Amino acid sequence: MSLKDQVDVARQLLANYPVVTIPREVMELRKLLDLYEFPNPSKIKELVSTSPTLAGDLVALANKLSQKKPQPKSIQSIDAAIDFLGLKNIKHYVFCVQIQKMLDASPVQGLSYHSIVIADILVQLSKKLNLLNTAEAYMFGLVHDIGTFLFAELDKLHPETFVASLMNHYQVHQDEYARFGTTHSAVGYVMTKDWGLKDEVCKAILLHHEDDLKRIKDKDIRQLTAMLELAHVLALENKKNILETELPVLYEDTIQVLGLTEDDVNQIRRQVHP
């Protein structure tokens, strides 16, 4: 089945099984920040203040990130949180908070941990590559497998097997298609498109189990897909039951597309596997 057909089936299934709802104020904040390159901070504060939960999440996130700075400071207000997070990144941070909550509540065993590991690796890769900023990269990692939420609704055994199935990077799509008529990547593409994420990111999610990166004609999408696939290599390379034939091929293909050297990758390894 073509990618278009997989996406069509995914859209039909999501119409019958709506699995994730993003809070209204989060979507409104994304729309506001997409409209203006330099939005008015008072407008952001006004919108955030309509939701005590969102306001608390922003302040908590700002404090968490502040603790990683050489000179951490306590952040007590929405104004201070907005100023610390920055206008360009706040929409990604807000989205990350919501997605993290969904991952933590998901019945899919190991999905939250896997997504955080991938997100952390993508942050390190983003510092080497001029493809996404760190906030976008972290969000990319958190949402890349979000489509599996749907399969958890359709098959009650799926939450127990999904993360283990990722050990077979290429086969997972074939197995999903045989069972559901589509893939978690196609479902994730539809969900993230509906949420208004960057088109290149959505398409990289759709393609992130592609076994031949050369087939992806658009350079930006090819590089983002390679970035996500390399993150999987680095996350899984220490697992003993990963198919040995897949990792070398994935590794060589992705670093070639990204123009990375072995020294570059070793630096990233040291950051994510200290």
According to the model, what pLDDT value does residue 30 have?
A: 85
63 closest CA partner among 51, 80, 88, 47: 80
According to the model, what pLDDT value does residue 24 have?
A: 87
Q: Which long-range contacts (CB under 8 A, 24 or more apart) does 75-83 make?
A: 78/45, 78/48, 78/49, 79/41, 79/45, 82/41, 82/44, 82/45, 82/48, 82/58, 83/41
Helix (H, G, I), strand (E, B) or coil at 140: helix
According to the model, what pLDDT value does residue 242 have?
A: 53
Q: Rounded distance, CA 270 to CA 274, Å? A: 5
According to the model, what pLDDT value does residue 180 have?
A: 94
According to the model, what pLDDT value does residue 35 have?
A: 82
For 167-227, the three-class secondary structure string (H helix, E strand, C coil) is: CCCCHHHHHHHHHHCCCHHHHHHHHHHHCCCCHHHHHHHHCCCCCCHHHCCCHHHHHHHHH
Q: What residue ranges define each of the domains in the chain, with the CATH number in brackets?
A: 3-20+107-272 (1.10.3210.10)
pTM: 0.91
Answer positive or negative: Cα dihedral of 54, 58, 63, 68. positive
According to the model, what pLDDT value does residue 240 have?
A: 54
According to the model, what pLDDT value does residue 34 have?
A: 82
According to the model, what pLDDT value does residue 272 have?
A: 84
According to the model, what pLDDT value does residue 121 have?
A: 95
Give the pair of three-digit tokens for residue 116.
Answer: 């955080």
Give the pair of three-digit tokens for residue 186.
Answer: 């196609």
Place of tokens 């890769």: 125
CA distances (Å), origin 96, targets 7, 87, 125, 141: 24, 15, 18, 10
According to the model, what pLDDT value does residue 104 have?
A: 92
Residue 100's CB is within 10 A of a number of other CB atoms, namely: 19
Q: Roughly what angle, to the nearest 10 degrees, separates helices 219-236 and 262-272? A: 50
pLDDT along the chain (274 residues), means of 10: 91 91 86 80 87 90 86 91 87 89 91 93 94 93 95 89 80 90 96 94 95 93 96 80 66 94 92 75
According to the model, what pLDDT value does residue 42 have?
A: 87
Helix (H, G, I), strand (E, B) or coil at 117: helix
Helix (H, G, I), strand (E, B) or coil at 145: coil
According to the model, what pLDDT value does residue 249 have?
A: 82
Digit-coded pLDDT (tens) for 82-124: 899 888 888 888 899 899 999 999 999 999 999 999 999 999 9
